[in-house]
Each structure stands twice: as structure tokens, then as C-alpha cells.
């Protein structure tokens, strides 16, 4: 796929990541804490297993209709538990940013609209989480002032998309900048990333080591289809800095019902 075609009408949900050092006080059965909200490992497994079960059911049904028996690997959806925790954490932080900045979150994107692109039944909670996140991130991106278009932010987006195989590999910074043009989507993504990172630090965010680094769920449009990907943690040389101020131990274990929001 040619680079210009991929970037045409591009819309990136986010650029940064949220990673917190010093998680020694966190419970091993908790995947992440965001303020007083916690996401249990069971919650992550629940979303993941639900997605896999519903995906395989659809594939089996399609096989019955076509008379082709799918191979075992074809019954597995292309998602990981890391994808799930990325969504859960980003949604919680995004909601907090929207509330703090009085941003009205649109309710325009539905699971049904994403089902074909995600290759996931709209009844799967994974599809619902993606639609919720895209509504939040889209509303925030429209409200936040765009950030500087740095080489680091441009290449962070490019490298993440490159890993999906949806863009030409091995381009230089100059070539990527030329392909991205004005890079409005990167500027918006950088601004959103900064807002989420600031909120993660303010609220106190702790990630179980098995789920680090957390990536911000992102999507880019080719004009014909969507490319879903996640940007890994960017260290201090990148546009997002590390968060090294987790909550005190006394606050670390403030649980809710184990399922977050």
C-alpha cells in the first residue's frame, strides 16, 4: 500500500502511552489502577475470552455456510490481553480528561459500525470498548489545541503503523514528513497523548508489570479501511515522558467491584 494512500483522510486516536514505574505495591490479581478505579486480571480475561468465543462462533458459522471447515488458527481473533488493558486504561483516563475540560463526548460510533473492520461481532464487549474509546478520543482530539509536529511524534506514528504491515517500511524522517503532509492527525494525537499522560500522573496510575508498557489504542484510515494499532511506550527522548509518581501504598489498594467502568 502506498504511503499517501494510507495517510489520506487519516485519523489517529492517540500517539502516546501510559506507563507507570514502581508497581511493587499493586496486587498481582489487578491489571491496572487508575485513581480509585481498578481493573482486575479477571476483567481483562473476561473481555478477551468473550471476544475469542464470539469471533470463533462467527467463523464457524461462515464455514458451515460455505462448506469449508476453518483451521484452528482461523478461529482465533487477532487480539491480545494487552489490547484489552490498553482500551480499559485509555477509556478511564479519557473520561477523566473530558470531565475536567468540560468536553462533551459524542456518541457517534457504534460497535456495529466497527464490526467489519475489527472482524469482531458487534455483540462482543471488545467491539463496544473500541467504539467507546473512539468516541472519547475523537471528541478530545477535536477540543484540544494541536501539538507541535516533532520528528519524534511523526516517527512514533509511522513506526507503529509500519509494524502492522499497512505502510511501506524503511522510510526516512523526511520521507515520512512528506507523506504525512501537514500532519494534522499527528498534532492532534500528540495533544491527546499529553493530556492522557498528565491525567495518568494526576490520578495515580499503576500498571501490573505483565501489562507494561500500556499502549494507547490508535486507528488510521486508508480511505477504504481502518488500520488498528497500539503505540508502545515512548521514553524521555520521545514526545511522552515517563510517569514515576504512583499513588502511595495506602491508596494503591482502593478497590471497586473489580471490574472498573
Residue spans per domain, the chain: 3-252
| pLDDT for position 26 | 58
Task: Give the orientation angle of helix 151-164 with respect to helix 173-180, to 10 degrees.
Answer: 90
Regarding predicted confidence, which is higher, 147 or 260? 147
**Cell match 484452528: residue?**
72
Cα gap 247→256, rounded to integer Å: 16
Regarding predicted confidence, which is higher, 11 or 139? 139
- What mean pLDDT, rounded, does the chain reach? 79
The model's pLDDT over 177-215, given as tens digits with 9 standing for 90+, comes to 998 888 887 888 778 888 888 898 899 888 888 888 787
The model's pLDDT over 82-135, given as tens digits with 9 standing for 90+, comes to 999 999 999 999 999 999 999 999 999 999 999 988 889 999 999 999 999 999
| pLDDT for position 231 | 65
pTM of the full structure: 0.78
Regarding predicted confidence, which is higher, 207 or 22? 207
Q: Average pLDDT of 130-158?
A: 90
Regarding predicted confidence, which is higher, 189 or 19? 189
Cα gap 13→20, rounded to integer Å: 21
Per-residue pLDDT band for 136 (boundaries 50, 70, 90) equals: very high
Task: Give the orientation angle of helix 125-143 with respect to helix 111-118, to 10 degrees.
Answer: 110
Residue 8 pLDDT > 70: no
Compute CA 42 distance to the chain's CA centroid, rounded to the nearest angstrom.
19
Sheet holding 30-34, edge to edge: 37-40, 30-34, 205-207
Is 170 exposed, middle or buried (CB count within 10 Å of its CB: 0-12, 13-18, 19+)? exposed
C-alpha cell at 240: 511522552
Amino acid at each position: 500500500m502506498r504511503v499517501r494512500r494510507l495517510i489520506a483522510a487519516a485519523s489517529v486516536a492517540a500517539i502516546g502511552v501510559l506507563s507507570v514505574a514502581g508497581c511493587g505495591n499493586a496486587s498481582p490479581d489487578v491489571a491496572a489502577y487508575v485513581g480509585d478505579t481498578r481493573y482486575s486480571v479477571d476483567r481483562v480475561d473476561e473481555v478477551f475470552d468473550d471476544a475469542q468465543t464470539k469471533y470463533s462462533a462467527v467463523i464457524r458459522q461462515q464455514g458451515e455456510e460455505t462448506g469449508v471447515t476453518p483451521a484452528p488458527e482461523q478461529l482465533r481473533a487477532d487480539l491480545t490481553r494487552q489490547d484489552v488493558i490498553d482500551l480499559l486504561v485509555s477509556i478511564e483516563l479519557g473520561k477523566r480528561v473530558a470531565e475536567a475540560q468540560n468536553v462533551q463526548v459524542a456518541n457517534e460510533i457504534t460497535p456495529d459500525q466497527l464490526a467489519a473492520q475489527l472482524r469482531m461481532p458487534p455483540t462482543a464487549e471488545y467491539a463496544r470498548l473500541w467504539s467507546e474509546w473512539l468516541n472519547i478520543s475523537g471528541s478530545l482530539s477535536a477540543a484540544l489545541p494541536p501539538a507541535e509536529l516533532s520528528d519524534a511524534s511523526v516517527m512514533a506514528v509511522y513506526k507503529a503503523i509500519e509494524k502492522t504491515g499497512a505502510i511501506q517500511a524503511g522510510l526516512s524522517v523526511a520521507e515520512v514528513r512528506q507523506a504525512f503532509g501537514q500532519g494534522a492527525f499527528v498534532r492532534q494525537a500528540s495533544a491527546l497523548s499529553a493530556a492522557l499522560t498528565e491525567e495518568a500522573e494526576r490520578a495515580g496510575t499503576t500498571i501490573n508489570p505483565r501489562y507494561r508498557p500500556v499502549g494507547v489504542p490508535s486507528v488510521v484510515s486508508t480511505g477504504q479501511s481502518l488500520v488498528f494499532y497500539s503505540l508502545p511506550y515512548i521514553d524521555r527522548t520521545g514526545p511522552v515522558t515517563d510517569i514515576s509518581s504512583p499513588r502511595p501504598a495506602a491508596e494503591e489498594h482502593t478497590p471497586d467491584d473489580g471490574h472498573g467502568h
